[in-house]
Amino acid sequence: MNYRHAFHAGNFADVLKHVVLVMLVEHLKKKPAPFFYLDTHAGRGLYDLSDASAQRSGEYKDGIGRLLEAPPRELVPEVADYVRLVRESAGPGRSAITAYPGSPALVAQLRRPDDRMVLAETLPREAAALRKALGRQRLLSVIESDGYAALKAHLPPRENRGLVLIDPPYESDLEFDRVLAGLGTAHERWPTGTYCIWYPRTGRAGPERFHRELERSGLRRILDMWLAVLPHDARVGMSGAGLVVVNPPWLLEERLRELLPSLHGLLAPEGLGGTGVEWIVPE
């Protein structure tokens, strides 16, 4: 599949990724020591969901659109925190639909003055848009680079604590091999870091093989979570999405088992699809 973010920004898969990302960053902030954040496929930072690309797909309407319209009492605390950040990202006088934050913008909102960010984006136009969206900020770098090369160039970080988000477009099933190789290299350089890998769930065998290879990788503490809005065998490009977290924080599994069914109820009110949380490799 080809996951062009301008078409898919704000959809259910984005919502899943961002809710968990906010949870991971908030956990890092529980300790006073600064953290490091690396985004390997950063994108443009802010997305106008009213433009032609987003309107053509309309996917955001069944993603962030549902959350923005939901009564506050229906949002569990972590989802409510995410919705608040989305609204705040737009700033005064702007709609959350016209300035929807991607992962870099969310982390930039959440980080503290001494927390450091490196945002890698290989496409020059997207990298330029990202610089414009975030402006000049202390300890924030936008690099025009292949994301997998950034793993080698920027790990291990001097902070020795932090998070890496690996979120490629999966233009072919071979992307799973690149993710596995990149994760292996990164983990070898920085075994104590937390790694969050987004992946699509489709009718293809890519995710299943990905999980098998992770199980055989020799890495420990690999948690998988997923949310689907259609049956797995649905004849669509993407029926669901998942996240693999290596070295997840304590209690993330427990919290997700409560949170994901609630989030699924908002994103798939017809009850199709489902959710899951399981260890690919435990302690």
CATH code for the domain of 31: 3.40.50.150
Instruction: Determine the Cα–Cα distance for residues 173 and 176; give it in Å rounded to an integer.
Output: 6
- The answer to whether 51 is a known catalytic residue is no
| Structural domain includes residue 278 | no
Query: Which helix (H) or strand (E) element contains residue 110?
Result: helix 103-110
Instruction: Give the chain's domain count.
Output: 1
Q: Which of 167, 173, 224, 233 is catalytic?
A: 167
| Structural domain includes residue 275 | no
Residues ≥6 apart with Cβ < 8 Å to 183: 166, 195, 197, 217, 219, 246
Q: Tell me which residue of 96, 142, 100, 89 sits closest to 119, measured CA to CA.
A: 142
The pLDDT value recorded for residue 112 is: 98
| Structural domain includes residue 272 | no
The pLDDT value recorded for residue 73 is: 95
| Structural domain includes residue 243 | no
The pLDDT value recorded for residue 87 is: 94
| Structural domain includes residue 169 | yes
216: DSSP letter: T
Q: Tell me which residue of 88, 87, 89, 55 sits closest to 68, measured CA to CA.
A: 87
The pLDDT value recorded for residue 53 is: 72
Provide the pairing of β-strand 240-246 with 194-201.
antiparallel
| Structural domain includes residue 121 | yes
Instruction: Find out whether the peptide bond into 104 is cis, omega within 30 degrees of 0.
Output: no
Q: pLDDT digit of tens for each residue in the chain (283 aa)? A: 444 566 789 999 999 999 999 999 999 999 999 999 999 999 999 999 988 777 777 899 999 999 999 999 999 999 999 999 999 987 777 777 889 999 999 999 999 999 999 999 999 999 999 999 999 999 999 999 999 999 999 999 999 999 999 999 998 878 999 999 999 999 999 999 999 999 999 876 668 899 999 999 999 999 999 999 998 766 667 899 999 999 999 999 999 999 999 999 999 999 999 999 999 999 8
Query: 100 has which bridge partners?
Result: 47
CB 206 within 8 A of CB 242: no
The pLDDT value recorded for residue 159 is: 98
| Structural domain includes residue 166 | yes
| Owning domain of residue 209 | 5-221
| Structural domain includes residue 277 | no
The pLDDT value recorded for residue 152 is: 97
Tell me which residue has tokens 């070898």. Answer: 188
Q: Return the number of other C-beta atoms located less than 10 Å from residue 234's C-beta.
A: 16
Instruction: Determine the Cα–Cα distance for residues 34 and 159; give it in Å rounded to an integer.
Output: 6
Return phi, psi of residue 242, to 5°: -140, 170
Q: Tell me which residue of 238, 241, 202 sits closest to 224, measured CA to CA.
A: 241
Residues ≥6 apart with Cβ < 8 Å to 256: 20, 225, 277
Q: Two tokens at 24?
A: 């991971």
* pTM confidence score: 0.95
Instruction: Determine the Cα–Cα distance for residues 128 and 234; give it in Å rounded to an integer.
Output: 37
In single-letter form, the type of residue at position 12 comes to F
The pLDDT value recorded for residue 234 is: 60
Say whether 116 sits in a helix, a strand or coil.
Answer: strand
